[in-house]
Structure 1
Amino acid sequence: MKRVPSRCLLLALATACHLSAHAADPVPAHLAGAWGTAESLYAGTVAQYELLLLSDGFGSFTGSTPPMTHTGGPDKGKPAAARVIMGLPLRAVVDGDVLKAQPFIPRSILRPGDKAPAPEAMTITCRYEAQGQTLSCVGPDRRDIVMKRYSETVPAETAEMLRKIRAADDGGQG
């Protein structure tokens, strides 16, 4: 008879541990927020990158090209205001001291019979450096990207966009 209560206690503890593991955020609070190579994707004369992470692991990665230059006329060779800016939604998890982010391709945008690209080929891995609050990342092209934290939160419009992407992917259930 004494084994039944201890088994119940063991079962209760195991269940509590299992539930707390699912309740934990995939991205710790010190990693959630806005990170970038500059304060803006339009800054400077080089390509810029931005990583926006929600605590649930969803986010976006955006990059810009260097500004285009005029190819003729009196402004030949001078920078133009235009840049190409592209981004994609992602899912991130922390594995030990490494943040791994992979593109999130919603099923809803794929045509029947299409396969999503292998996300492993597009993985971004980052290591957090507490001194200086930076993320040292390696992109899919093996390029080193060092980003600084600019905000503890993600812009509201980005959070809303990610919510809509997730809702579309799960058929409106999320």
Structure 2
Amino acid sequence: ELGAFRPRAMARTALAAASTTPPRVEVLATICSLVAEGGSSELAAFEPRDIVALSWALAASGHRDVPAMTAIGWQLADRAWEFSGDELAKVLRSFAELGLLHQGMMATVSMETMWKIDQFSARSLAQVAESCARLGYCKEPMFDWLACRVIGRIEDYAAQDLASVMWAFGQASFKNEALAQTVAAE
């Protein structure tokens, strides 16, 4: 029956299944199976917000389905330009919550983050930094761009966001004196 659902309905069903206590694992497993078996053709029909909802449902429920998340990662790698900054951050955070590193997706997300740096909210950019650090995918050019953005818009960042950014820089072993001084002055 779930196979007949449209992408939005499938993503919302996954969110509903993840929201119950305990999560409806059988529903999530069926959706993951459909996504993994359908691969890129199944996910190509999903809009970015549906991919975000599906990936977050899996992360929120702790449902670590590697084939489904791999298919999601490839979709993001192929279609990153369709995603807003906040949507990129949410999918990346889903991967970090599940502890799944998708190299192809990460390379694309790093480039897309630099390209869309002005489109990220302060919270989303902090989530990107934290997620990259949690996944051990820390590339210097993206972190340099991130530091410049934070320094230039420091007033937009809450204390928690700044703490996340500084933690990510520490995890990545990147030193940025200008960022450290700017954050310390806040």
TM-score if structure 2 supplies the norm length? Answer: 0.20
Report which structure shows greater RCO (CA 8 Å, sep ≥6): 1
Larger radius of gyration: 1
TM-score if structure 1 supplies the norm length? Answer: 0.21
